[in-house]
Amino acid sequence: MPDLGLLVHLAVVISIYGILAISLNLIIGTTGLFTIGHAAFFGIGAYTSAILAKLGVPWILAALAGIILAGLVAFLIGIPTLRLVGDYLAVVTLGLGEIMRAVFKNWIPVTRGPMGLPGIPHAAILGLRFDTAPKFLILSVICLAIVFFIAERIIRSPFGRVLKGVREDETAAQALGKNTYRFKMIIFVTGCGMAGLAGSLYAHYISYIDPGSFVMWLTFFIILIIMLGGLGNNVGALVATTVFVLLREGLRFVALPEGLNPAALQQLIFGLLLIVVTIFMPRGLIPERKITYDRERDHAQS
Amino acid sequence: MLKVENLTKNFGELCAVDRLSFEVTQGAIQGLIGPNGSGKTTVFNLITGFLQPTAGRTFFKDREITGLPSHAIAQAGIARTFQLVRVFRRVTVLENLLSAPKAQRGERILPGALQTPQVRREEREQLDRAWDLLSVVGLDGVANEYCGNLPYAEQKMVELTRALMTDPDLILLDEPTSGINPTLVNQILDYIRMLREARGKTFLVVEHDMRVIMNLCDRIVVLNYGEKIADGTPAEIARDRAVIDAYLGV
Amino acid sequence: MDLFAQLLVNGLIAGGTYALAAIGYSMVYGALKFINFAHGSVAMVGAYFVYGLAVSRLNIPLLPAMLLSMVLTALLGVLIERVAYRPLRQAPKLAPLTTAIAVSFVLDALVMIVAGADIKSFSLPAQRGYKIGPVYITPVQITIIVTSLVMMVAVYVLLNRTKLGKAIRAVADDRSLAEVSGMDADLVISAVFAIGSALAAVAGALIGLDTNLQPTMGFNITVKAFAAVVLGGMGSVPGAIVGGFLIGIAENLGVWFIPPVWKDSIAYGILIVMLFFRPSGIFGKKEDTQATVL
């Protein structure tokens, strides 16, 4: 009989990673912007929220600050990069990930560097403190539900239609009069802000963060998840998140030959898996949901 | 409606378009032809803002549009199709069409995600328009198919119909009949003519197929090596010495 | 003033290594319009090859070790292109970028498993530097800069004086045109990857000599090589060289003004600034960088 505490913990992790997956899916899956710095925004949200909360700021405001700061950084790097060929965004976000890690590690007066930030206060809304794992699960699931709902609404809206147009053929979208730069910027900031929310949740759940939590590998893990779940398909993303979080947990218990680095092995396996999946199914395992219209009924269904 | 003045485009030392000037009057179906490499698509890209001219000016409905970005020019009322069809492949035909209309309230993220009553009303209106346009060209049967799954000719029709959804005044067609079965070509030409008669659209058409151009256009501008070598009615062009030389090419 | 000169020299040395890494990057981008994220990790593997051949049991002297590593890494590069990029030529741009990242992780993981995650160094005996004017320069540093320059000359000769070089430039200019005139573009592309990877191996080994080795050095090299290429102009080999040197100099002079822990971020800062003001770089063409491609 699996430990209930462990299950609750995994559920929290799944909901936090789920937010990361959905937000990245909006950027990469729906809009086709290849970014590989999501861990950086996760980290910005986490550190901002943690630092402010430790200074006494109520969680809601601290989390909001994390979201806004993540969005702001996204905006700043988006200004030059979103007008350029897609590869630039990829490398710039890669570098951002490295820069933020350097910031977390070296800006000691603020982030305490490699020693990390312990003692992060519990999340609380109007006096209700989420100080146990089951209580926090409620909070994280609600946040996940909100993010999922918003993401689905965006995808189905005319705004989301333009995003797909940008993904499919940005030139054609511009020829239709769409200011594609504006659309890309808005979704990029939104997605990165959501990652900031996930960061805040993470910080207030684990109560301790250090630079090592926000490494490139995390971004890669999320990319793997959305590729397997199907680009643009948020239900698929959630399923894949569950599978992979459980898989990663399960790998911890697999007996390994002496001296074999488990983290490296995981990286190797998942890396190869992503290569194979991408080559054979470049849009991911589960296709995007198709939006269809019935002439008689005259409204969208899918 | 459209006036191009001394339009010039240099790519380093290569002069792709050289002091080109011509006009397109409202309601005309005008052709732009020339041998391979004469700069026709470059002219389109210059007019529609996908390339910035090295020199020269472009005017649309008496307003200068030189140097404006491509989306602004499209917003002003110029639509275009592309030589190699550019539809949104992993999106349905209807969604392709619905993404086209300008100034949709729902394209702002907040009203769009909230699905305000105004957004829903606009969606219904555009949906009606889209269904109508698809019926006219006989594509309502594939309205919910992914555009990438359609045969090439149908994709071209979707691209054209999508351009119409922006309610443009001027439509630039880049080789609308290339890659199309000869039997379907006439249908497309009829469609273009109908759009001019019934809906008052103006067309500027780049084409390779001389019979199509002669058949379809009121006026023709002929380019060779980026320069205008002739400008007149099909009859005049057919007799023009310079045009004949250019095409037979010595 | 002396310090300035010393830092400048250090910068040139580091810059040479970045330039080598950047050339391979630039060549691949020129031929395929594709940013090879795995490039830094390939350089890292090349460095570890040299380390493995020279320092541990086999004890091969440095020069043959480098040459051998170049060959092995070139093969690795060709293999990666065949397996991870070629099948995705027609797929949306996202796909090869994704596999490139994945390849990078796979390489990093393999090296971590085989060689361990700890920091390794070539542990050369401490050497007295030569004093040339106001600056000290050690034999190792001389080796580094000489090797870099030799490789650059070799690349120049290859690209401009050989048939293969001509083919590479043709494919970079216009692949369909090159194919139509009878060139086997696939072969040329494999050659580009082979050459670029061999250069990366040398770059990685030299960086390892200049500093040290660890499996995670790949990303760092990728970002710096990319910064060099953006600075110099995408697709331009001379640009990559100039960019590399400039980044090296900027990094080493930069630590005069800011705390050394931020040294690695200088390259990234330059990248961001370039993207704001002149994304096409010093020698690049503006049209190549715009988001809408005709």
**Residue A230, burial from CB neighbour count under 10 angstroms (0-12, 13-18, 19+):** buried
Integer CA distances (angstroms), A181 to A10, B70, B77, C95, C247, in order: 38, 12, 20, 22, 30
Radius of gyration of chain A (CA): 19
List the single residue in A174, A179, A298 with the smallest CB-CB distance to B124: A298
Interface test with B, best of A22, A30, A161, A162 (most B CBs within 10 A): A161
Q: What's the token pair of residue A202? A: 């993470």
Query: By C-alpha distance, which of B83, B43, B22 is closest to B219?
Result: B22
Q: What's the token pair of residue C168? A: 């590479």
Integer CA distances (angstroms), B193 to A283, B209, C294, in order: 41, 17, 28
- For B71, nearest residue in chain C (alpha carbons): C292
3-state secondary structure of C213: strand
> Does residue C178 contact residue C170 with C-beta atoms inside 8 Å?
yes
Does B124 sit within 8 Å of A174, measured CB to CB? no
| Domain boundary assignment for chain A | 4-252+259-301
Does C292 sit within 8 Å of B51, measured CB to CB? no
**Count of other CB atoms within 10 angstroms of residue C56:** 10
Q: Provide the domain limits for residue C95.
A: 2-216
How many structural domains is chain C composed of?
1
- For A232, nearest residue in chain B (alpha carbons): B90
Does some domain include residue C67? yes
pTM across the whole model: 0.90
Does some domain include residue C280? no
Q: What is the pLDDT of residues C104-136, one digit of tens each?
A: 999 999 999 888 878 888 766 666 777 777 777
Contacts of C294 in chain B (CB under 8 A): 45, 50-51
Interface of A with C in 158-177 (CB under 8 A): 170-171, 174
Compute φ and ψ for B144, nearest 5 degrees: -100, 20
- Residue A266 is predicted with a pLDDT of 87
The C-alpha angle C203, C207, C210, rounded to 5 degrees, equals 140
- Number of separate helices (H) and strands (E) present in chain A: 11, 4
Per-residue HEC secondary structure of chain B comes to CEEEEEEEEEECCEEEEEEEEEEECCCCEEEEECCCCCCHHHHHHHHCCCCCCCEEEEEECCEECCCCCHHHHHHHCEEECCCCCCCCCCCEHHHHHHCCCCCCHHHCHHHHHHCCHHHHHHHHHHHHHHHHHHHHCCCHHHCCCEHHHCCHHHHHHHHHHHHHHCCCCEEEEECCCCCCCHHHHHHHHHHHHHHHHHHCCEEEEECCCHHHHHHHCCEEEEEECCEEEEEECHHHHHHCHHHHHHHHCC
Q: What is the pLDDT of residues A214-261, one digit of tens each?
A: 888 899 999 999 999 889 899 999 999 999 999 888 877 776 666 677
The residues pairing with C290 across neighbouring beta strands, listed in sequence order, are A84
Q: What is the pLDDT of residues C259-281, one digit of tens each?
A: 888 888 888 888 888 887 887 88
- For C294, nearest residue in chain A (alpha carbons): A171
Average pLDDT over every residue of A276-292: 88
Distance from CA of B180 to the nearest CA of C (A): 22
Tell me what percent of the residues of chain A surpass a pLDDT of 70: 96
Interface of A with C in 228-267 (CB under 8 A): 231, 260-261, 264-265, 267
Residue C57 pLDDT greater than 70, yes or no: no
Does some domain include residue C206? yes
Q: Give the DSSP letter string of A150-198.
A: HHHHHHHSHHHHHHHHHHHHHHHHHHTT--HHHHHHHHHHHHHHHHHHH
Does C106 sit within 8 Å of A271, measured CB to CB? yes
Chain center to CA of A180: 23
DSSP state at residue C283 = T
- Residue A72 is predicted with a pLDDT of 97
Residue C294 pLDDT greater than 60, yes or no: no
**Count of other CB atoms within 10 angstroms of residue B35:** 16
Does some domain include residue C87? yes
Contacts of A79 in chain C (CB under 8 A): 276
- Residue C293 is predicted with a pLDDT of 54
Contacts of A168 in chain B (CB under 8 A): 87-91
C294 touches chain B (CB under 8 A): yes
Of residues B188 and C292, more confidently modeled: B188
Residue A77 and residue B20: Cα distance in Å, rounded?
Answer: 40
Q: Which of A202-206, B37-41, C283-287 comes out lowest in average pLDDT?
A: C283-287
> Does residue C220 contact residue C204 with C-beta atoms inside 8 Å?
no
- The mean predicted confidence, pLDDT, of chain C is 84
Query: By C-alpha distance, which of B155, B158, B172, B156 is closest to B70?
Result: B172
DSSP state at residue A225 = H
Per-residue HEC secondary structure of A97-157 comes to HHHHHHHHHHCHHHHCHHHCECCCCCCEECCEECCCHHHHHHHHHHHHHHHHHHHHHHHHC
Q: Which of A1-5, A19-23, A193-197, B201-205 comes out lowest in average pLDDT?
A: A1-5
Band (A21; pLDDT cuts 50, 70, 90):
very high
Interface of A with C in 267-286 (CB under 8 A): 267-268, 270-272, 274-275, 278-279, 282-283
Band (A149; pLDDT cuts 50, 70, 90):
very high
Residue C101 and residue C169: Cα distance in Å, rounded?
Answer: 26
Tell me what percent of the residues of chain C surpass a pLDDT of 70: 89
- Residue A166 is predicted with a pLDDT of 94
> Which residues have C-beta within 8 Å of that of residue B232, sequence separation ≥ 6?
B219, B220, B240
- For A289, nearest residue in chain B (alpha carbons): B91
Distance from CA of C139 to the nearest CA of B (A): 45
Query: By C-alpha distance, which of B44, B114, B38, B53 is closest to B79?
Result: B44
| Domain boundary assignment for chain B | 2-77+168-248, 87-152
Contacts of B51 in chain C (CB under 8 A): 294
- Residue B179 is predicted with a pLDDT of 81
- The mean predicted confidence, pLDDT, of chain B is 88
The C-alpha angle A89, A95, A98, rounded to 5 degrees, equals 145
CA torsion C27-C28-C34-C39 (nearest 10°) is -110
The kind and range of the H/E element at A218 are helix A216-229
- For C90, nearest residue in chain A (alpha carbons): A282
Query: By C-alpha distance, which of C188, C187, C209, C190 is closest to C198?
Result: C190
**Count of other CB atoms within 10 angstroms of residue B201:** 21
CATH of range A4-252+259-301; options 2.30.110, 1.10.357, 1.10.3470, 2.60.40: 1.10.3470
Average pLDDT over every residue of C140-163: 86
Residue B223 pLDDT greater than 90, yes or no: no
**Count of other CB atoms within 10 angstroms of residue C268:** 23
Does C279 sit within 8 Å of A88, measured CB to CB? yes
Interface test with C, best of A35, A266, A279 (most C CBs within 10 A): A279
- For C294, nearest residue in chain B (alpha carbons): B50
Residue B234 and residue C19: Cα distance in Å, rounded?
Answer: 59
CA torsion C240-C246-C247-C248 (nearest 10°) is 110
Domain B2-77+168-248 in this protein, CATH class:
alpha beta
B83 touches chain A (CB under 8 A): no
Residue C1 and residue C23: Cα distance in Å, rounded?
Answer: 32
- Residue B250 is predicted with a pLDDT of 45
Residue type, A46: A
Q: What is the pLDDT of residues B149-166, one digit of tens each?
A: 999 989 999 999 999 999
Please tell me whether the interface predicted TM-score (ipTM) of this complex is above 0.85.
yes
Beta strands in chain C (DSSP E): 130-132, 135-137
> Does residue A21 contact residue A229 with C-beta atoms inside 8 Å?
yes
> Does residue C11 contact residue C248 with C-beta atoms inside 8 Å?
yes
DSSP state at residue A207 = S
B178 touches chain A (CB under 8 A): no
Does B45 sit within 8 Å of C294, measured CB to CB? yes
Query: By C-alpha distance, which of A150, A125, A147 is closest to A135?
Result: A125
Residue with token string 């397109």 = B24
Tell me what percent of the residues of chain C surpass a pLDDT of 90: 25
Residue B158 and residue A160: Cα distance in Å, rounded?
Answer: 20
A89 touches chain C (CB under 8 A): no
Mark A72-102 as b/e (b = at least 16 C-beta within 10 Å): ebbbebbebbbbbbbbbbbbbbbbbbbbbbb
Of residues A185 and A112, more confidently modeled: A185
The C-alpha angle C245, C29, C71, rounded to 5 degrees, equals 75
Interface test with C, best of B50, B70, B82 (most C CBs within 10 A): B50
Q: What's the token pair of residue B220? A: 């023709």
The C-alpha angle B201, B207, B212, rounded to 5 degrees, equals 80
Does some domain include residue C184? yes
Residue B67 and residue B50: Cα distance in Å, rounded?
Answer: 9
Q: What's the token pair of residue C120? A: 């390794």
Distance from CA of A292 to the nearest CA of B (A): 6
Interface test with B, best of A83, A167, A174, A176 (most B CBs within 10 A): A176
Q: What's the token pair of residue A60? A: 């809601």
The kind and range of the H/E element at A300 are strand A300-301
Q: What is the pLDDT of residues B46-71, one digit of tens each?
A: 999 998 899 999 999 989 999 899 99
> Does residue C228 contact residue C247 with C-beta atoms inside 8 Å?
yes
Contacts of B45 in chain C (CB under 8 A): 294
Contacts of B50 in chain C (CB under 8 A): 292, 294
Compute φ and ψ for B94, nearest 5 degrees: -60, -45
Query: By C-alpha distance, which of A261, A151, A270, A275 is closest to A216?
Result: A270
Does B51 sit within 8 Å of C294, measured CB to CB? yes
Residue B34 pLDDT greater than 90, yes or no: no
Interface test with A, best of C44, C48, C106 (most A CBs within 10 A): C106
Band (A298; pLDDT cuts 50, 70, 90):
low
A113 touches chain C (CB under 8 A): no
Residue C62 pLDDT greater than 60, yes or no: yes
Q: What is the pLDDT of residues A125-134, one digit of tens each?
A: 887 888 888 9
Q: What is the pLDDT of residues C167-222, one digit of tens each?
A: 888 777 776 666 667 677 788 889 999 999 999 999 999 888 888 888 888 888 98
Distance from CA of A128 to the nearest CA of C (A): 41
Contacts of C98 in chain A (CB under 8 A): 34, 223, 227, 274, 278
